[in-house]
Amino acid sequence: MHFQPTELTEQVAQTARDFAQQYILPHVMEWDESQEFPVAVFKEMGKLGLMGVLVPEQYGGAGLGYFEYNAIIQEISKVCGSVGLSLAAHNSLCTNHILSFGNEEQKKKWLPKLATAEWIGAWGLTEPNTGSDAGNMKTVAVKDGNDWILNGTKSWITHGKSGDIAVVICRTGEPRTSGNSTAFVVERGTAGFSAGKKENKLGMRASETAEMIFENCRIADANRLGEVGDGFRQAMKILDGGRISIAALSAGIAKGAYEAATKYSKERYQFDQPISNFQGISFKLADMATEIMASDLLIWQACDLKNRGQKVTKEGAMAKYYASEVAVKTATEAIQIFGGYGYTKDFPVEKYYRDAKLCTIGEGTSEIQKLVISREVLHG
C-alpha cells in the first residue's frame, strides 16, 4: 500500500481548500442558523468537478480516485461539515449507485446531470421504523405491466426535499426474505413523489434532511437498477464505499476542531504564558493529533483497496467507526480547550461539536459498524 499523496491529490486538495475559503467560510454560521441548503454552492462545485469526483470523464465526471475524493471531502468538511455531508451523499450514494449498477443507457441519461450538479441527488433506504432493519422496510414497489407502482415513506434522506433525482430501495418481496428489495430511480416531478417533513437538527443544519413520500407513484421498468430482488445487496455495496466518505467527513471535522484548538491554545494566555504550555492542554492536543493520524491511516487503507477494486467491507467500517468517534472526542476536547468561549457561537468549535455527532449515526451507527467488523473478523 502506497499512501504518499501524489501531485494530483495535492492539487485537488488545494482546489477544494481554496473553494471552501472563498465560497463557504463566509456563510457557515448564516447557513447553520437559517438551516439553508445552499444549492448555489453545489452548482459552483459542479463546475469544478467536485460533484462527480468518481464519475468517468465519458459521463461528464472528473474521473478521479478515492484518495482525491477523500482529500476533497476533508478539505470541505474542515470548513463546514454540512456542505461536506451533502457533497458525500451526492457523490457516494445517489451518483455512485447509478454508476455502479446502472446500465449504459441509464448512466448516459443521469450521470452527466449529477456529475455537473445540474441535478442534486438523493438516496433512500432508511424508513421511520426501519433504520438498520432494512429487510423489514414498508416502502413497496408492485409490478403493473411495464411499470412499477411505489408506495411508502423514506425518512432521514439527505436532499429529500431539494433533490432532483433519487435512488430508492423498495421492497418487492415478502418481509425478511432473501432478495426482497429492488432499487429504482425516481425523478422529481414524477406524479405521486413528494417531500415530507424537513428535520430540525442539532447539527449539520445546512445539509437538508427530509422525508420522501411515495403515493401510487408510477415509474417505468426502465428506471429499475439491476435485477429485481438485488436492491439490498446493491445498497450494502454502496454503503461500503459510502462509509469511506463519512470517515473522510469525520476526519475533516476533527482536523477543523483540532486546528482551531491548537491556534487558540497558543493565543490564550493565563498566568503570563500561553495555555499550550500547560500539560493539561498539550496532552489533549497530543491525543487529538495521534487519533487523527490513525483515522487517516484507516481511511487511506480503505481508499487503496477501493481503488484496486478489492472488497472493503471491513476496512470501510473500521475507518468510519474509528474516525467518527475520534471526531466527536476531538470536538469535545476542543471546546474544553476554549473553555467558556468554546460554548459560544463566536468561535467555530461549538459547530464542530454539533456536526460531529451525526458521523457516529449516519450510514450505519457505530454499533452497526462494530457488528459489521465483528462479522468480518469472525467469518470473513
The predicted structure's pLDDT at residue 76: 98
pLDDT tens readout for residues 330-349? 999 999 999 999 999 999 99
The predicted structure's pLDDT at residue 37: 98
The predicted structure's pLDDT at residue 287: 98
CA distance 197 to 85: 19
The predicted structure's pLDDT at residue 246: 98
pLDDT tens readout for residues 165-191? 999 999 999 988 889 999 999 999 999
| 364: Cα separation from own chain's centroid | 11
The DSSP element (H or E) to which 225 belongs, if any, is strand 224-225
* Full pLDDT tens readout for the chain, 380 residues: 677 779 999 999 999 999 999 999 999 999 999 999 999 999 999 999 999 999 999 999 999 999 999 999 999 999 999 999 999 999 999 999 999 999 999 999 999 999 999 999 999 999 988 777 777 899 999 999 999 999 999 999 999 999 999 999 999 999 888 899 999 999 999 999 999 999 999 999 999 999 999 999 999 999 999 999 999 999 999 999 999 999 999 999 999 999 999 999 999 999 999 999 999 999 999 999 999 999 999 999 999 999 999 999 999 999 999 999 999 999 999 999 999 999 999 999 999 999 999 999 999 999 999 999 999 999 96
The predicted structure's pLDDT at residue 131: 72
The answer to whether the Cα torsion of 188, 159, 147, 96 is positive or negative is: positive
DSSP, residue by residue, 269-317: EETTEEGGGSHHHHHHHHHHHHHHHHHHHHHHHHHHHHHTT---HHHHH
| 111: Cα separation from own chain's centroid | 18
Burial of 303: CB neighbours in 10 Å, binned 0-12, 13-18, 19+? buried
The predicted structure's pLDDT at residue 185: 98
CB of 114 closer than 8 Å to CB of 97: no
Which residues have a catalytic role annotated?
363
The predicted structure's pLDDT at residue 305: 95
The DSSP element (H or E) to which 165 belongs, if any, is strand 165-171
Q: Which of 305, 269, 356, 270 is nearest to 67 (CA)?
A: 305
The predicted structure's pLDDT at residue 178: 87
The predicted structure's pLDDT at residue 177: 86
The predicted structure's pLDDT at residue 380: 67
The predicted structure's pLDDT at residue 251: 98
Residues near 166 by Cβ (< 8 Å), separated by ≥ 6?
94, 121, 122, 123, 124, 157, 160, 185, 186, 188, 193, 212
- The overall average pLDDT reported for the chain is 96
pLDDT tens readout for residues 35-57? 999 999 999 999 999 999 999 99
